[in-house]
Amino acid sequence: RYLREQERRGLNTLVTGNVKLEEHHEIYGSLWEKAGLELVEPLKGLDTLELLMEYSKIDLQFMIIGIRDDELDSKWLGEIVTRQNFEEFLTDVLSRGIDPCGEYGEYHTLVTGLKEAKVSLRPVKIEKSDSNMNYILIDVLGNSNSF
């Protein structure tokens, strides 16, 4: 029902950031196909370390919004990864042997800025959720003048 409503609003394509997990492709693809919509996964199959390095080069900023405690240090929860702390983040991720892009659920992100596009999101409210995985719930404001 939700997907059909989106189609009525003119949405006809879902673009995801999935890279590795075929199960996600199958789930999203099946749901989208049933609604008569298209699934596009431009990152599918790419090397996740190379992809993360590319994010740094183009100054893509992202907030860590979910962490499995047994995978990544909780100090990263709520942190925005930028060029300034990218090396520290990458070192932490690689030293733990987890997928550089968190493709197996080690961590989850929200893109908060891309300098080239002159767009960013600014969190206005952050709180930790009650779940078996540490997530933060955020409200965001768009701000195109923060770069």
CB 110 within 8 A of CB 63: yes
Complete domains list, the chain, with CATH: 2-40 (no CATH), 48-143 (3.90.1490)
pLDDT at res. 146? 46
With beta carbons less than 8 A apart as the criterion, state whether 75 and 67 touch.
Answer: no
Tokens for 106, please give them: 């080690």
**Range 5-38 burial, b when 16+ CB lie within 10 A, else e:** eeeeeeeeebebebbbeeebeeeebeebeebebe
pLDDT tens per residue across span 12-50: 777 778 888 777 778 777 877 877 778 888 898 999 999
* The pTM of the whole model exceeds 0.85: no
Which residues in the chain belong to E strands, given as ranges? 13-15, 38-40, 60-67, 80-81, 107-114, 119-128, 134-143
Specify whether the CB–CB gap between 76 and 95 falls below 8 A.
Answer: no
- In tens, the pLDDT along 63-111 reads 898 888 788 888 898 889 999 999 999 999 999 999 999 998 899 888 8
- Whether the per-residue pLDDT at 147 is higher than 50: the answer is no
Q: Bigger pLDDT: 72 or 130?
A: 72
Rg (CA), the chain: 16
Q: Residues 40-63: pLDDT tens digits?
A: 888 989 999 999 999 889 888 998
Q: For residues 48 and 19, what is the distance between their CA atoms, to the nearest angstrom?
A: 7
Q: Are 69 and 77 in contact (CB under 8 A)?
A: no
31, containing H or E segment = helix 22-34
Distance CA 87, CA 92 (A): 9
